[in-house]
Amino acid sequence: MWGFKLKDSHAPTHNLGTSLAPDLRFIREDIKAMHAYVVQDAKGMLKLDAMENPFSLSPELGAKLGARLAGVAVNRYPGAQVESLKAALANYAGLPSGYGLVLGNGSDELISLLGTACAQVPQKASVPLQSVPCVLAPEPGFVMYSVSAKLQGLNYVGVDLLSDFELDLPSMLSAVDNHKPAIVYLAYPNNPSANLWSKESIELIIKRVSEYGGWVVVDEAYQPFSSHSWLDEIKNNPDAHRQVLLMRTLSKFGLAGVRIGYLIGPSTVVAEIEKIRPPYNVSVLNAECALFALEHAEVFSDQARIICEQREKIAQHLSKLKGVKPFKSEGNMILVRFEGDNSYAVKIFEGLKLKHILVKNVSKMHPLLDGCLRLTVGTPEENAQLLAALDELCASLS
Ligand SMILES: Cc1ncc(COP(=O)(O)O)c(C=O)c1O
C-alpha cells in the first residue's frame, strides 16, 4: 500500500515507492488548479469565525440525545425518519400550502443541486448548447454561490453592493437583463455584511427575474437572528413568488455539525429537485438529531434571543471605540471596519489570534470589505473576552 497521504490536488505525486504515479488526465483542469477547502485549526482558540451557535447542549439534553441516537437503526438506509424530519421542518417553518421541501446535507448541497438542475447538458451530441446558464449574486456574498456555479459549468456573475452593503438596484437589474440568470441568490441577511436588503429592491428583482422564468433563491441561513423572513412575503403574495425558492439551514440554529439544509418552494419545483437529490443524502443520525432539536426548539430560540441581545451589546461597545465601525447586523455576526489601511485590521486580527481568539479576516475578500473583520457572536463570557481583547488592542495599536 502507498504510505502517504494526499494533502490536496497539488500534493507531490513522486516518492510513491513505485514508478507509477497516478494519472490525472481525466480530472478537470480547473479542479486540479483549485485548492481544497481548508477548515482552520481552531484547537485551543475561542472560535468566533464561522457563525456557529456558541452554546453546546446541556448535559441533560446531551444524555437524552445520546439515548435517542442509540435507538437508531444505523444498519438501515435512511427512510421514514427523513420523512418525519421533513414533516417536522414543514411544521416548524410554517410551509405554505402548495409548497414542498427538499432536504440537503447542509445548504451547501442544496446550492449544488440547484446548479445541477439548471446546468445544460447536450440532449443529443449533434445539438450544440444554446448558451451556458448563469448564476448571479450580489458581492461580497456567500462564496459557495460562485464556487458551486463554476464547478457545475455555469457562468457566474457577481454584482457589487453599494458601499453601505445595500443592493445596487440599477446594476442588479441591468445585470439581470443582460445575463438572464437561471438563478439569482439573495442572502437575507447577507454574509458577511449581515444586513437585510431593501424590500422594494428585492421585490423588483424578483419581478424582473420571474418575467423570463428565472429563479430567485432567498437564502435565509441567518433567519433565527433576523427581524424579518421572506417567507411572510411569499405567504402574503404567492403569485408574485412563483419563481422564488427559500433556502434555510439548521447550522446557525445550533446544528452546524449535523448538516441539515432545507429548500422550500412550489411543489412542482421541489419535485424536479427531488429527482437529483442523492437518495440517502441525510443520514439517519443527522435526521434523528435534527428531529430531537426541533422537539426542543424553545431551547434554541432562547439561545437565538441571547445571541441577538449580545449582538447589540457588542455593537454598542464597538461603536464607542475610536476608528471602529460596526455595521448593523441581523445575523449572529457583526461586520466591523477598522479604519485606516487594511494593515490595521490585519494587526487586530493577528493580535486577537495571539490572544487565542479566532475571528474571520474578510479584509482581502472584496474591495468593499477593506479593513473589515467579521466577528461571530459568542456566549456572554466569550463576548466579554473578545471585547476586552479588542479594547486592549485598539488602545495599544492606535
Ligand atoms: C448565506 C449562507 N448560506 C448558506 C450557508 C451554508 O450553510 P450550511 O451550513 O447549511 O451548508 C452559509 C454558511 O455560512 C451562509 O453564510
- Ligand 1: nearest atom to the Cα of 250: 10
State the Cα torsion 390-396-397-398 to the nearest 10°.
100
- Residues 45 and 355 sit within 8 Å (Cβ to Cβ): no
Q: For ligand 1, is residue 223 a contact (CB within 6 Å)? A: no
Q: What pLDDT score does 122 carry?
A: 66
Pocket test for ligand 1, best of 107, 230, 253 (most atoms within 8 A of CB): 107
CA terminus-to-terminus distance, the chain:
56
pLDDT, residue 344, reads 93
* Model confidence pLDDT, tens digit, residues 259-273: 999 999 999 999 999
Phi first, then psi: what are they for 102, rounded to 5°?
-115, 135
Hey, where are the domains in the chain? 46-59+298-397, 73-120+130-295
Domains 46-59+298-397 and 73-120+130-295 share a fold: no
In contact, 179 and 135? CB cutoff 8 Å: no
Cα 72 → chain centroid? 29
Dump pLDDT digits (tens) for 352-372.
999 999 999 999 999 999 999
| pLDDT tens per residue, range 5-24 | 334 444 444 555 567 899 99
Q: Which grid coordinates belong to 118? A: 439548471
**287: pLDDT strictly greater than 70:** yes
The pLDDT of residue 226: 98
Residue with cell 446557525: 252
Residue 269 Cα to chain centre, angstroms: 22
Per-position DSSP letters for 29-80, written without gaps between them: HHHHTS----PPP-TTSEE-SS----PPPPHHHHHHHHHHHHTS-TTS-S-H
108 touches ligand 1 (CB under 6 Å): yes
Looking at every residue in the chain, the average pLDDT score rounds to 93
Among 108-122, 128-142, 266-280, top mean pLDDT goes to 266-280
Pocket residue to mutate for ligand 1, from 139, 142, 252, most atoms within 8 A of Cβ: 142
- Ligand 1 centre from 154 Cα, in Å? 20
- Cα 87 to ligand 1 centroid, rounded to whole Å: 22
Q: What spacing in Å lies between the alpha carbon of 383 and ligand 1's midpoint?
A: 22
Of the pLDDT bands very low, low, confident and very high (cuts 50, 70, 90), residue 57 is very high
Q: What angle do CA 155, 369, 336 make, to 5 degrees?
A: 135
Q: Which atom of ligand 1 lies closest to the CA of 249?
A: 10
Q: Does any ligand 1 atom lie closer than 6 A to the CB of residue 139?
A: no
For residue 221 and ligand 1, the question of a CB distance below 6 A is answered with yes
The fold of 46-59+298-397 is: Aspartate Aminotransferase, domain 1 (3.90.1150)
Q: Which pLDDT does position 368 carry in this prediction?
A: 97
- pLDDT of 176 over the 90 cut: yes
Cβ–ligand 1 contact at 219 (below 6 Å): yes
Atom from ligand 1 closest to the CA of residue 109: 11
pLDDT at 18: 62
Neighbours of 391 (CB within 10 A): 14
Tell me, using a 6 A CB cutoff, whether residue 261 lines ligand 1.
yes
Q: For 207-265, what is each residue's pLDDT tens digit?
A: 999 999 999 999 999 999 999 999 999 999 999 999 999 999 999 999 999 999 999 99
**CATH fold of 73-120+130-295, please?**
Aspartate Aminotransferase; domain 2 (3.40.640)
Q: For a pLDDT cut of 90, what percent of the chain falls above it?
A: 87
